[in-house]
Structure 1
Amino acid sequence: MIIDSLTVAIAVPLEAEHVDRIREVDPGINVIYEPDLLPPERFPADHTGDPAFRRTAEQEELYWKLLNSADILYGFPNESAAGFARTVAENPRLRWVHAMAAGAGGAVKASGVSREDLERVAVTTSSGVHALPLAEFAIMGVLNGFKRTAEMARDQQARHWPELRTPTRLAAGSRLVVAGLGEIGLETARLARALGMSVCGTKRSTGPIEGIERVAKSEALPELVSSADALVNTLPGTPYTDKLIGRAVFDAMRPGTVLVNVGRGTVVDEEALLEALESGQVGYACLDVFAVEPLPADSALWSHPRVMVSPHTSALSRDENRLIAERFRDNLRRFLAGEDLPHRVDPVHFY
Structure 2
Amino acid sequence: MTVTHPTIAIAVPLQAELIAAIRASSPGITVLYEPELLPPERFAADHAGDPRFQRSPEQERRYWDMLMSADILLGFPNDNAAGLARIAANPKLEWIQAMASGAGGTVRAARLSAKDLDRIAVTSSAGVHALPLAEFAMLGLLGGFKRVPELAADQSAKHWPELRTPTRMAQGSHIVIAGLGEIGLETARLARALGMTVSGTKHRVGPIAGIEEVAPSAELPRLLGTADALINTLPGTPDTERLIGAEVFAAMQPGTVVVNVGRGSVIDEPALLAALDNGQVGYACLDVFAVEPLPADSALWGHPRVLVSPHSAALGATENQLITERFIENLQHFLAGAPLLHVVDPQHFY
Query: Aligned residue pairs: how many?
Result: 349
Q: State the match for 1:81 in structure 2.
A: 81
Q: State the match for 1:298 in structure 2.
A: 297
Structure 1 residues 82-161: aligned runs within 5 Å: 82-89=82-89, 91-161=90-160
Structure 1 residues 31-42: aligned runs within 5 Å: 31-42=31-42
Q: Distance in 2 between matches of 1:223 and 1:4?
A: 51
Corresponding residue SS for 2:31: strand
Deviation, structure 1 residue 299: 0.3
Q: Distance in 2 between matches of 1:140 and 1:224?
A: 22
Unaligned runs of 5+ in 2: none
Segment of structure 1 superposing worse, 107-116 or 257-266: 107-116
Structure 1 residues 1-351: aligned runs within 5 Å: 5-89=5-89, 91-351=90-350
Give the AA of the match of 2:184. Answer: G
Corresponding residue SS for 2:118: helix
Contact 1:3 1:28 survives alignment (8 Å): no
Q: Distance in 2 between matches of 1:31 and 1:126?
A: 20
Q: Distance in 2 between matches of 1:242 and 1:4?
A: 41
Give the AA of the match of 2:183. Answer: I
Unaligned runs of 5+ in 1: none
Deviation, structure 1 residue 27: 2.1
Compute the TM-score of the two structures, normalised by the length of structure 1: 0.98
Deviation, structure 1 residue 24: 1.2
Contact 2:41 2:49 survives alignment (8 Å): yes
1:49-69 superposed Cα distances (whole Å, 9 cap, x missing partner) = 011111111010000000000
Compute the TM-score of the two structures, normalised by the length of structure 2: 0.99
Q: Distance in 2 between matches of 1:183 and 1:5?
A: 32
Q: Distance in 1 between matches of 2:105 and 2:41?
A: 23
Deviation, structure 1 residue 4: 6.3
Q: Distance in 2 between matches of 1:237 and 1:76?
A: 18
Contact 1:9 1:32 survives alignment (8 Å): yes
Q: Distance in 1 between matches of 2:273 and 2:208?
A: 33
Contact 2:229 2:257 survives alignment (8 Å): yes
Q: Distance in 1 between matches of 2:249 and 2:108?
A: 29
Q: Distance in 1 between matches of 2:126 and 2:3?
A: 27
Give the AA of the match of 2:186. Answer: E
Deviation, structure 1 residue 305: 0.1
CA-based RMSD of the aligned residues comes to 1.0
Deviation, structure 1 residue 116: 1.4
Contact 1:85 1:112 survives alignment (8 Å): yes
Q: Distance in 1 between matches of 2:194 and 2:240?
A: 29
Contact 1:96 1:121 survives alignment (8 Å): yes
Contact 1:115 1:348 survives alignment (8 Å): no
Give the AA of the match of 1:329. Answer: I
Deviation, structure 1 residue 206: 1.5
1:296-343 superposed Cα distances (whole Å, 9 cap, x missing partner) = 000000000000000000000100000000000000000000011111
Give the AA of the match of 1:258. Answer: V
Corresponding residue SS for 2:226: coil
1:39-89 superposed Cα distances (whole Å, 9 cap, x missing partner) = 110000000001111111101000000000000000000001000110112
Contact 1:262 1:289 survives alignment (8 Å): yes
Deviation, structure 1 residue 3: 6.9
Contact 1:230 1:258 survives alignment (8 Å): yes
Query: Percent identity at matched positions?
Result: 68
Give the AA of the match of 1:71. Answer: D
Deviation, structure 1 residue 161: 0.7
Q: Distance in 2 between matches of 1:155 and 1:251?
A: 30
1:104-158 superposed Cα distances (whole Å, 9 cap, x missing partner) = 1111111011121011000000000000000000011000000001111111111
Runs of 4+ in 1 over 3 A off after TM superposition: 2-5
Q: Distance in 1 between matches of 2:109 and 2:256?
A: 34
Q: Distance in 2 between matches of 1:65 and 1:118?
A: 22
1:213-253 superposed Cα distances (whole Å, 9 cap, x missing partner) = 00000011000001000000000011111111101110000
Deviation, structure 1 residue 5: 3.9
